A and B are shown apart, each in its own frame.
Chain A
Amino acid sequence: MSRLKKIAGAVMVLAGAGVVAGWVLSAPAKVDPQLVVDSGDPAKGERIFYAGGCTSCHAKPGSKDAARLELSGGLALKTPFGTFFAPNISQDKENGIGAWSPADFASAMLMGVSPSGEHLYPAFPYASYARMKPADIADLFAFMKTLPAVSGKAGEHALEFPFNIRRGIGLWKRLYLSGDPVIALAQSAPEAVLAGRYLVEGPGHCGECHTPRNFAGGSDKAQWLAGAPAAEGKGIVPNITSGEGGVGDWSEADIANYLETGFTPDFDSVGGAMVEVQKNMAELAPEDRAAIAAYLKAIPPHPNGYPARQPAAN
Chain B
Amino acid sequence: MRKLLIAISLLAFAGSAALADPVLDRQLLMKERGKVVGELVKVAKGEQAFDAAQVATALNALQVNAEKFDAEALFPAGSDTGDTTASPKIWEDMAGFKADADKFEADVKAAAAAPPADVDALKAQIGVLGSNCSTCHQTYRIKKG
Give per-residue flags for B1-45: 1 if the beta carbon is below 8 A from chain A beta carbons, else 0: 000000000000000000000000000000000110110010000
B135 contacts the other chain (CB 8 A): yes
Pick the contact of B35: A237, A267, A304 (CB < 8 A): A267
Knowing A267-B34, A269-B130 touch, does A235 contact B83 (C-beta < 8 A)?
no
Q: Say whether B137 contacts A275, CB under 8 Å.
A: yes
Pick the contact of B137: A272, A308, A309 (CB < 8 A): A272
Q: Say whether A309 contacts B145, CB under 8 Å.
A: yes
Pick the contact of B145: A233, A263, A270, A307 (CB < 8 A): A307
Q: Say whether A237 contacts B143, CB under 8 Å.
A: yes
Pick the contact of B143: A262, A267, A271, A311 (CB < 8 A): A271
Q: Say whether B144 contacts A236, CB under 8 Å.
A: yes
Q: Say whether B34 contacts A271, CB under 8 Å.
A: no
Expressed in whole angstroms, the minimum distance between the Cβ of B85 and any Cβ of chain A is: 7
Expressed in whole angstroms, the minimum distance between the Cβ of A58 and any Cβ of chain B is: 17
Expressed in whole angstroms, the minimum distance between the Cβ of A273 and any Cβ of chain B is: 8
Q: Which of A214-256 contact B (CB under 8 A)?
A: 227, 230, 233-238, 245
B81 contacts the other chain (CB 8 A): yes
Knowing A245-B145, A309-B144 touch, does A271 contact B138 (C-beta < 8 A)?
yes
Q: Say whether A271 contacts B144, CB under 8 Å.
A: no
Q: Say whether B145 contacts A269, CB under 8 Å.
A: no
Q: Which of B74-93 contact A (CB under 8 A)?
A: 81-83, 85, 87-88
Pick the contact of B87: A234, A262, A269, A312 (CB < 8 A): A234
A2 to B141, CA, bound (A): 66
Q: Which of B82-127 contact A (CB under 8 A)?
A: 82-83, 85, 87-88
Q: Say whether A275 contacts B82, CB under 8 Å.
A: no
A63 contacts the other chain (CB 8 A): no
A204 to B46, CA, bound (A): 30
A263 to B131, CA, bound (A): 10
Expressed in whole angstroms, the minimum distance between the Cβ of B18 and any Cβ of chain A is: 14
A304 to B134, CA, bound (A): 24
Q: Say whether A313 contacts B82, CB under 8 Å.
A: yes
B133 contacts the other chain (CB 8 A): yes
Q: Report the nearest A residue to B37, measured CB to CB.
A: A267
Q: Say whether B143 contacts A236, CB under 8 Å.
A: yes
Tally of contact residues, B, Cβ under 8 A: 22
A261 contacts the other chain (CB 8 A): yes
* Complex interface: chain B residues within 8 A of A34 (CB): none
Pick the contact of A271: B38, B88, B141, B145 (CB < 8 A): B141
A278 to B38, CA, bound (A): 19
Q: Say whether B137 contacts A263, CB under 8 Å.
A: no
B142 contacts the other chain (CB 8 A): yes
* Complex interface: chain B residues within 8 A of A272 (CB): 137-138, 141-143
Q: Report the nearest B residue to A238, measured CB to CB.
A: B143
Q: Say whether B134 contacts A275, CB under 8 Å.
A: yes
A307 to B144, CA, bound (A): 10
* Complex interface: chain A residues within 8 A of B137 (CB): 269-272, 275
A314 contacts the other chain (CB 8 A): yes
Q: Say whether A234 contacts B142, CB under 8 Å.
A: yes
A81 contacts the other chain (CB 8 A): no
* Complex interface: chain B residues within 8 A of A261 (CB): 41, 130
* Complex interface: chain A residues within 8 A of B88 (CB): 234
Q: Say whether B34 contacts A266, CB under 8 Å.
A: yes
A306 contacts the other chain (CB 8 A): yes
Pick the contact of A275: B83, B85, B135, B144 (CB < 8 A): B135
Q: Say whether A314 contacts B82, CB under 8 Å.
A: yes
Knowing A263-B130, A266-B34, A272-B137 touch, does A233 contact B143 (C-beta < 8 A)?
no
Knowing A234-B88, A245-B145, A309-B145 touch, does A267 contact B134 (C-beta < 8 A)?
no
Pick the contact of A263: B35, B41, B85, B143 (CB < 8 A): B41
Sample (16) of A-B pairs whose CB atoms are under 8 Å apart: A238-B143, A263-B37, A263-B133, A266-B38, A267-B37, A267-B41, A270-B133, A272-B142, A272-B143, A273-B138, A275-B138, A276-B138, A304-B145, A307-B145, A309-B83, A311-B83
Interface set of B (CB-CB < 8 Å, partner A): 34-35, 37-38, 41, 81-83, 85, 87-88, 130, 133-135, 137-138, 141-145
Interface set of A (CB-CB < 8 Å, partner B): 227, 230, 233-238, 245, 261-263, 266-273, 275-276, 278, 304, 306-309, 311-314
